[in-house]
């Protein structure tokens, strides 16, 4: 009787590291020359980030600063879902950035379809906001991980709970 091996595919964000990145970006914005005397603000509220500034250029610069801080803290950049720029009161603009956690059903189906295209002897299934891949051989599972790392699905994928 063959014993099945498995692993889980997840998309997680360390919110403590995200909070640290936002705090560092806020400090840099307060100290930068081009933001002196401006009404630039960045607030993290659970899984949304609210940005406000005087113009589109400053919002773009704030997002660039945040991305550089996220890279330094190993927070995946693909977790940011940047909303559209809206005008706010007193001549300012605002933008909402959503932090994506988990794998949506649509992305899960896309990943499973890609796994099936590889013609490996593994099974994949959606479990809430993660995927589980099972197979008889460890080598097949490692081949799946290798193939998934080569393709971009628009979300950051992590591979956990490798069991043999």
Residue 77 has pLDDT above 60, yes or no: yes
* CATH number at 15-99: 3.30.70.990
Tens of pLDDT along 105-114?
888 889 899 9
Topology agreement, domain 5-12+103-163 and domain 15-99: yes
* Alpha carbon distance 136, 4 (integer Å): 5
Would you state the pLDDT for residue 163?
83
Would you state the pLDDT for residue 159?
87
CB 21 within 8 A of CB 73: yes
Tens of pLDDT along 49-59?
999 988 888 88
How is residue 101 annotated by DSSP?
Answer: -
Tens of pLDDT along 9-44?
898 888 999 999 999 999 999 898 888 888 888 999
- Domains of the chain, by residue range, sit at 5-12+103-163, 15-99
Q: How far is CA 108 from CA 29, 57, 95, 118, 128, in A?
A: 37, 35, 28, 16, 10
Task: Say which CATH architecture domain 5-12+103-163 belongs to.
Answer: 2-Layer Sandwich (3.30)
Mean pLDDT of 136-144: 88
Would you state the pLDDT for residue 3?
66
């Amino acid at each position: 009787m063959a014993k099945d091996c498995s692993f889980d595919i997840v998309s997680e964000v360390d919110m403590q590291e995200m909070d640290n990145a936002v705090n560092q970006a806020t400090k840099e914005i307060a100290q930068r020359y081009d933001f002196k005397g401006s009404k630039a603000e960045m607030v993290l509220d659970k899984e949304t980030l609210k940005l406000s500034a005087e113009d589109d250029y400053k919002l773009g610069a704030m997002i660039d600063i945040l991305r550089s801080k996220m890279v330094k803290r190993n927070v995946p950049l693909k977790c940011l879902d940047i909303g559209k720029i809206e005008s706010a009161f007193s001549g300012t603009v605002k933008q909402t950035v959503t932090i994506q956690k988990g794998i949506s059903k649509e992305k899960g189906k896309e990943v499973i379809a890609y796994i099936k295209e590889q013609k490996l002897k593994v099974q994949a299934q959606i479990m809430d906001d993660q995927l589980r891949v099972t197979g008889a051989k460890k080598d097949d599972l490692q081949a799946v991980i290798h193939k998934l790392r080569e393709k971009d699905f628009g979300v950051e994928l992590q591979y956990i709970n490798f069991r043999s």
